[in-house]
Chains A and B, each alone.
Chain A
Amino acid sequence: MSLLHTVNKSPFESNTLDACLNLAKSGSTVLLIEDGVYAATSGNAVADKIKNTSGINFCVLGPDAQARGIEGKLAEGIKVVDYEGFVDLVAEHDAVQAWL
């Protein structure tokens, strides 16, 4: 079993990303959407947290990053997906946990 986790809040405004990472198991995927995409920029205060979490596949929803003007600032190792990629991630994982 592996879960797809979605995180939709900025890590600078809420502890949602932490709550997710506390319970995300190795082999799961974390997809950053909406304001959650701000976690994905390089050099930010949570970049190390993402970099040091081993075994979790991090993705960011490209349209949300683009809308917020951060598409060119995304950290390495975070895969960019579009909505069709979001759909694929849902299909590829056994269940989806939305960290609201």
Chain B
Amino acid sequence: MAKKFMYINRKAPYGTIYALESLEVVLIGAAFDQDVSLAFIGDGVYQLTKGQDTKAIGQKNFSPVYSALGDYEVTKIYIEKESLEERGLTLDDLQHLVWEDEDEDYAEKDSIRLVSRAELADVLDEQDVLLSF
């Protein structure tokens, strides 16, 4: 039986390598047919902002990879509402992440689930494996 795996992302990108190397685990982990979800909490929400341009800092911009997660069947992306609000952000500031539902003639569906702390606490509580980086 598939286990519920949740990747907890609480770090902003580029300042440290955690966000990038966490994404690398998600991509590899997608091959294992588990019940995968991602949570973006605190500064983790900065990983998903639009308009990242890393040319001048000499690092690779890995933000486009998030939009490919749907192709890896990673379709449950939880964003903590309060974390966005604290940072003066709204969903419009983040990439629009979607997946195609093959059971519904490849209808495009939103991957992002904006949830309150209370809701996210319930989701966390259901997990079998929590990976934090």
Are A and B direct contacts in the complex by CB distance below 8 Å? yes
B42 touches A25 (CB 8 A): no
A100 touches B42 (CB 8 A): no
**Measured CA separation A42–B120 after assembly (Å):** 30
Spot the interface stretch: A16-24, A30-38, A44-52, A58-66: A16-24
A53 in contact (CB, < 8 A) = no
A1 in contact (CB, < 8 A) = yes
Residue from A15, A25, A97 in contact with B130 in the complex, judged by beta carbons closer than 8 Å = A97
**Measured CA separation A26–B84 after assembly (Å):** 24
Shortest CB-to-CB span from A29 to chain B, Å, is: 13
Spot the interface stretch: B91-99, B104-112, B121-129: B121-129
**Measured CA separation A94–B130 after assembly (Å):** 11
**Measured CA separation A4–B117 after assembly (Å):** 17
Number of chain A residues whose Cβ lies closer than 8 Å to a Cβ of chain B = 17
Residue from B120, B128, B129, B133 in contact with A23 in the complex, judged by beta carbons closer than 8 Å = B120
B82 in contact (CB, < 8 A) = yes
**Interfacial chain A residues near B117, Cβ < 8 Å:** 22-23
User: Which residues in A have some Cβ–Cβ distance to B below 8 Å?
Assistant: 1-3, 15, 19, 22-25, 28, 94-100
Q: What are 17 A-B pairs with beta-carbon distances under 8 A?
A: A1-B125, A1-B126, A15-B42, A19-B41, A19-B42, A22-B117, A22-B121, A23-B124, A24-B121, A25-B121, A25-B124, A28-B125, A95-B127, A95-B128, A96-B130, A99-B10, A100-B133
User: Which residues in B have some Cβ–Cβ distance to A below 8 Å?
Assistant: 8, 10, 41-42, 82, 117, 120-122, 124-130, 132-133
